[in-house]
Amino acid sequence: MKKVLSFCAMVLTSVGLMAQSATYSGTVTVVVGGAYTYTCDDARYQLTFADEALNVTIEELSIPGTIMGDLTVGAMVIDNLTYDAEMGGYYRDYTGSDVSLTLVAVNNGETVINGNYYFEKVGNILVTANETGYHIVHNMQPGAMPFLISFTADVVKASDNVYGFAGAGTEADPYQITSADDFKTLGKLITADHRGTGEYFKVMNNIDFAGSQLPCIAVDGIVEGKLNNTQWGFEGHIVGNHATISGVKHNLPQGGAFQSLVSVLAEGGSITDLVFANNNELNTYNYAAPFAALCAGTIRGCANYAKITANSAYAGGICGMMMFGKGTIEDCVNYGDIYAMSYATGIVGGAQSGSSITSYEYVVRNCQNYGNISTGRGTGASGIAGSVGGRILGCTNYGNIRCVAEGETPAGLYTAGIVSCPTRLISVEDCVNEGSVYGFKMVGGILGNDMKGDDGHAAVVGCTNKGTVTCVDSYVGGVAAHTARIEGTLTLRECRNEGVVTAPDTTQLAGNLRGDAIILLENCTIAEGLPALPTDPDSQSIATISLDQNTTAISYDIQGRAVLRKQGLVIVQGGIRLLK
């Protein structure tokens, strides 16, 4: 017998598993009479490996809606399964033994079955090892029942499945999320010690939250509720399966920080192919977004239809803010209206910057916005991204963007069709704005204000504005309005403006391409018929312009052209107008 057990251990080792005494859980498929099939998500089996056998304890199982009614299968103990080499697992035929089972069936409120039964016709069980746990096949025909009942389950060690979900948590066999309570369980059990690292959670069906709040998974990773104290996040994968979340009522306008499905999505974590319906209500204080409040991971293929409101800063149709210099948002779309006091955007409100961020690997790719965007203070409204550096690639805005809601007094800064006020921007490439853009100051069809970059160089490449761009004060451009870089440059390369740009007659800081003349132009075009504006390029050169003694020394841009600055006076050699 020891040789048999040694051979069994060798077989188990070959699939990456040793015989482990523990409780195992998983989904069981129940077939009654070979014709009626039912599924239960949390079947539990206690497997105890003895020296010469396997003992199996099967916990009570409830199977609602069977042909017999709501069926309760009582607990069973089946001892002394022995290894069968031909079957490849532990097996016992317990027909005619003292093994028994209690069955209770209730149909329309009436108990139609209630008894303890033995197995004179059929009773057998086979347990085989697989890559993640065990495969169990259990056949029975209790008492005088005229048909066979078969149970088939794939189970994993219950201590590894702390959630009680069906599935094994792998990409091939993900944990199954079937209800709002499952999401809430996930929210409770993701901790600093168990971050869901590498675990997969598949949303199996549309989920109605029935007026309850989002679970805010990993919210405790934000120590003392402070952004810069964010220490850990969810490292698993939520596979949305194109399911829809509806019925959320999450109204915490004053105390609700970092409120989202996932509060912190860490690097390595992901949310994919999930839909947030238009009947959801999400009204919180800051970093408001349906899928992730903070993100250093990946959000892909998600769609939002709901109105999102942040009563302070940073609201996004997909994500509130990207973190730690990381994060990718791609192939996402927003249809909902977005509002925040500052930085309201169709896709992502902002991205963390500062001395703690050593590289800016933020990417927003192939995203679209159809929602209308506005802010309360007039700062940071945009179709795709707010104060986000890194790269914005292949995105399109169709929504109307306003610094403030219609009818309110215009105010604030940084309003744009694509990105309002990026810090450490690398590039905006192949983006299109088709919505109207209305702002007070620093208003751009593609980019509002290129905030910082210092010695670095950034570019807006291959972008087109087709929407009207209206500025109440100054700095307005059909493509980009302003740059605040000190030594570095912002270049518009192969960009085009087709939308009407409107600014007060009193400002010279307006152009069909740029509002700030220090922004460099390469192979950019302006659609025919648009009225000329002060910063539009022409053939005038500064070669004949005399400089007074107070003008600062000449510096040179990346193309080798002379650049002079003096109290708002900017003179750029090679076809750029003199501004006052």
Considering only CA atoms, which of 319, 159, 309 is closest in space to residue 233? Answer: 319
CA distance 496 to 433: 11
**Do 45 and 16 touch, CB atoms closer than 8 A?**
no
Mean pLDDT score of the chain: 87
> Which of the residue ranges 12-16, 139-143, 203-207, 291-295 would you say has the lowest mean pLDDT?
12-16
pLDDT of residue 133: 87
* Structure token digits, residue 257: 């920080």
Specify the pTM: 0.71
pLDDT band per the 50, 70, 90 thresholds, residue 440? very high
CA distance 450 to 465: 17
The single residue listed with the structure tokens 């197995």 is: 119
**What fold, for 2-157?**
Lipocalin (2.40.128)
pLDDT of residue 98 exceeding 70:
yes
More confident position, 27 or 271: 271
Over the stretch 538-550, which tens digit does the pLDDT of each residue have? 733 333 333 332 3
pLDDT of residue 160 exceeding 70:
no
**Do 412 and 376 touch, CB atoms closer than 8 A?**
no
130: CB partners within 8 A, 6+ apart:
15, 17, 154
Considering only CA atoms, which of 131, 137, 176, 178 is closest in space to residue 157? Answer: 131
**Do 275 and 240 touch, CB atoms closer than 8 A?**
yes
CATH number assigned to the domain with residue range 162-371, chosen from the 4 options 2.60.40, 2.160.20, 2.40.160, 1.10.287: 2.160.20
Listed by start position, the domains of the chain span: 2-157, 162-371, 392-536, 538-580
pLDDT of residue 66 exceeding 60:
yes
* Structure token digits, residue 463: 């972008």
Question: Per CATH, the architecture of 392-536 is what?
Answer: 3 Solenoid (2.160)
CA distance 312 to 375: 10
CA distance 463 to 394: 9
Q: Which helix (H) or strand (E) holds 10?
A: helix 2-14
* Structure token digits, residue 166: 């069906």
CA distance 172 to 159: 20
Whether the domain at 2-157 and the domain at 162-371 fall into the same CATH topology: no
